[in-house]
Structure formats: C-alpha cells, structure tokens
Amino acid sequence: MKRTYKFRLYPNKQQATTLTQWLTTCRILYNNSLAERKDAWQTHQKSFSYYEQANQLKAAKKNNPFLKAVHSQVLQDALRRLDKTFKHFFRRIKKGEKAGYPRFKGKYRYDSFTYPQSGFALDYQKKKLRLSKIGSINIKLHRPIPAEGVIKTCTIKRHVDHWYACFTVELPDPESQRELKTVIGVDVGLKSLLALNNGETIANPRWLRNSEKKLANAQRKKNRKVKGSNNRHTQNKKVARVHRKIRNQRKDFHHKLSRKLVDNYDLIVYENLTITNMVKNRHLAKSISDAGWGQLMCFTEYKAEEAGTIVEYVSAYNTTQLCSRCGQLVPKTLATRIHSCPYCGLDLARDHNSAITVLRRSTHYVESLSGQGLPVEPV
C-alpha cells in the first residue's frame, strides 16, 4: 500500500526564489503544452500524446535557459499531469458525466512540482532534503518514515508562504484483520459531530464559525484594496493564512479522533452519505463543510486499513426516522431532538437512536452475532 508523508520545509531566500522560479517554469510549460494540444485539434484535428510532447523537451531546452535550469524529470511530470487531465476529461465524456475542458493555470494556480523517480535524498542526521539543481534544504522531520517503506516520489508544494515536501512511500501490506470484539455505530451530525451507539457524543468544534469575525475583517480589508495592486495581493495572503489555520485545526482534530476510533474499535460503521448533494442546501452548506465529515471518514478508513480494523458504510435511508428497538417509522423534523416511539415507548436522543440503527444495518455486525447464535433483526 502507499502512504504520503508531509513535512515542512524551511528554504533560505535564494532557495525559495529558485523554487518559485521552478513553479513558474512548470506552469508555463503546462500552459504552452495545453495550447499546443488545443490548437492542433482545432486546426488539423490532430491529438498529441504525452510521449510526443516529452520528446520535444530536449530541443526546447537549447533555446530556453529556464527549462534547462529545471530537473528533466520535473518537466516530464508537468507534461504527465496535463496528459492525466485530458484522460480524466475524456473518461467523464464517455460516461456521460459533466466534464470541463482542461484550463490554463493562472499565476497562483500552480503550486507544486514532483520528482517522480530520482533527484532527491533525505539526510535524517542533518535534517536536510537534498534536491537536484537546488541544494540542501532544512526540513522538519516531525515523524519517522517507516524503515521498511520505500520512497517513490517527492512533491514540493507551496501554500502561501509555506513550503512542504510530500513523500509517496510504498509500505508492506497491512496487518491481518482483527477479531470483532468491539464494534461501534457512528452517526455524524452538526449539533454533535459524532454520536455513538453507546450513548457517547463528540462535540462539534465549529472551527470556521469561531473564526468568522477574524476572517471577515481580513476579507473586508482585502476588498478595500485596488484590484491587481501589491497591497491587495499582500492582504490576500493574510486571508489565506486564516483559512489555513482553520483547515489545520480541523485536520488535526480529525486525525486524533480517527486514531482514537481505530485504536478502540474493531468495527466502525458509518452512514453512506452523499455529502456533495447535501452541501447544495444553502442553509446547511457552511455547517456541513465546517464539520468535515468526508475528511473524518477518509482518515478513519486509511488508518483502519493499516491497523486491520474494518470500516463499513451502510445505507443512510431513514436512519433518523426508524425506531432502533421496534423498527417502526417515527417521523420527526430537524428541530425534534428526542426520539419518542409511540409503539414501543423508547425514549432516546435522536442521534443516539440513529447510531444504533446504523450499527444494526452492518453486515459484519449481523454476521458476528449470528455466529454466536444470537437472534438478530437488522433494521
């Protein structure tokens, strides 16, 4: 399996200038190659492949010193990105999906380049990352890369004024599946981020809501600046820093919460939600995006794969409306926070009832109970 390890880089001024120049060169190469493909099709109904454009690099370097200054594999990867973009575009067309034609990259829309095979090396003792044609850059190795892992690629990424190195590492196959001793059903929500079938709830930190005043002040100052001016660009960076802090807070919380779930439970059951459709509700879109359900599920899933834990997704249909004890339909609005069943008399918190229903729909949970000879009536 493959995993990505991300570390903060601390380049000096000269190195930062070189990294920025490389991004500009790769972006221009990407845009020129896109224009070449577009013009060739409109004029001669001809399509270019990655290999045809990559074979032109050698001749292009002789007349362009900026291309010559960049590592050859980095330039090839920029062309490979464009080729992947076209492949995804045609794949969506064939499936009948809505597909946007590949677009040119603006000045601040191309923020990474990749060494796909070689040209980089890590010095763990000196805490340096050596990049070919750039030099040794200080790196914060806040966690070790497993000794059994093989580093495949190195991607250098810029975010506003921060630089990062992302290593794609090939790791051995995950551990064998754990025996199902502890199971948990999870209901995601907005009032509480998580409600578990054992009655436990995880509060929703609401990172974006708590930072809205600070974000609004930064955006107001940006809007007062003249468009295209250096002052507006500087203020735009400040807005981006606020968003970055919110995103980092959310990501840190989700990493810790998903680790806790994976360490404590052998089976974790989520609802199979269509979040992309849910955020179309303009009244709830901001709160749903702020909660970050999809990110939490993704983090749980990949951590579970390494630990041998099972993550299962079940149908979300009527999990809130059904009674977890008798299975009868008990309609309720979003404002109704207590589940009161008129058929069996069950009184539970709305989210707690939903979490129990989610667990009872799990195939693995039903099979484990059936193996023990216990009667099971999945909802």
Please tell me the distance from the alpha carbon of residue 127 to that of residue 6, in angstroms, as a whole number.
Answer: 14
Q: 51 Cβ partners below 8 Å, 6+ apart?
A: none
Same domain, 107 and 192: no
Same domain, 27 and 158: yes
pLDDT score of 179? 83
Residue 111 lies in a domain: yes
Residue 229 lies in a domain: no
- Residue 156's DSSP bridge partners are 113, 165
> What is residue 274's three-state secondary structure?
coil
Q: Print pLDDT tens along the chain (379 aa).
A: 889 999 999 999 999 999 999 999 999 999 999 999 999 999 988 889 999 999 999 999 998 999 999 999 999 999 999 999 999 999 999 999 888 999 999 988 899 999 998 999 999 999 999 999 999 999 999 999 988 889 999 999 999 899 999 999 998 887 677 888 899 999 999 999 999 999 999 999 999 999 999 999 999 999 999 998 999 999 999 999 999 999 999 999 999 999 999 999 999 999 999 999 999 999 999 999 999 999 999 999 999 988 889 999 999 998 889 988 888 888 888 888 898 888 888 888 899 999 999 999 998 888 877 666 544 444 4
Q: The tokens of 175 are what?
A: 């551990």
DSSP string computed for 164-196: EEEEEEE-PPPPPPPP---EEEEEE-SSEEEEE
pLDDT score of 370? 65
pLDDT score of 17? 96
Q: The tokens of 7 are what?
A: 């570390």
Please tell me the distance from the alpha carbon of residue 29 to that of residue 72, in angstroms, as a whole number.
Answer: 12
Please tell me the distance from the alpha carbon of residue 33 to that of residue 67, in angstroms, as a whole number.
Answer: 13
Q: The tokens of 222 are what?
A: 């940006």
Same domain, 89 and 47: yes
pLDDT score of 378? 40
Same domain, 56 and 136: yes
pLDDT score of 333? 87
State the Rg of the chain over Cα: 26
Please tell me the distance from the alpha carbon of residue 257 to that of residue 300, in angstroms, as a whole number.
Answer: 8
111 is catalytic: no
pLDDT score of 379? 43
Q: The tokens of 170 are what?
A: 């090939």
Give the structural domain span for 191. Answer: 183-204+249-371
Secondary element (H or E) of residue 270: strand 267-271
Residue 232 lies in a domain: no
Same domain, 37 and 132: yes
DSSP state of 12: -
Work out how many domains the chain is built from and give that number. 2
Q: How many residues does the chain have?
A: 379
Please tell me the distance from the alpha carbon of residue 28 to that of residue 187, in angstroms, as a whole number.
Answer: 47
Residue 378 lies in a domain: no
Longest dimension (CA), the chain: 82
Residue 209 lies in a domain: no
Residue 18 lies in a domain: yes
pLDDT score of 187? 94
Same domain, 11 and 117: yes
DSSP state of 183: E
DSSP string computed for 106-159: -TTS--EEEESSSSEEEETTTTEEEETTTEEEEEE--SPPPTT-EEEEEEEEEE
Q: What are phi and psi of 174, to 5 degrees?
A: -65, 170
| 189: CATH | 3.30.420
Residue 36 lies in a domain: yes
pLDDT score of 265? 93
pLDDT score of 92? 94
Same domain, 115 and 189: no
Same domain, 92 and 48: yes
Catalytic residue among 187, 266, 290, 312: 187
DSSP state of 329: B
351 is catalytic: yes
Residue 212 lies in a domain: no
Q: The tokens of 288 are what?
A: 């749903």
290 is catalytic: no
Same domain, 77 and 9: yes
Same domain, 194 and 328: yes
Same domain, 19 and 144: yes
pLDDT score of 326? 85
CB-based contact 163:8 (threshold 8 Å): yes
Catalytic residue among 77, 271, 290, 312: 271
Catalytic residue among 266, 290, 312, 351: 351
Q: The tokens of 60 are what?
A: 């292009």
Same domain, 194 and 55: no
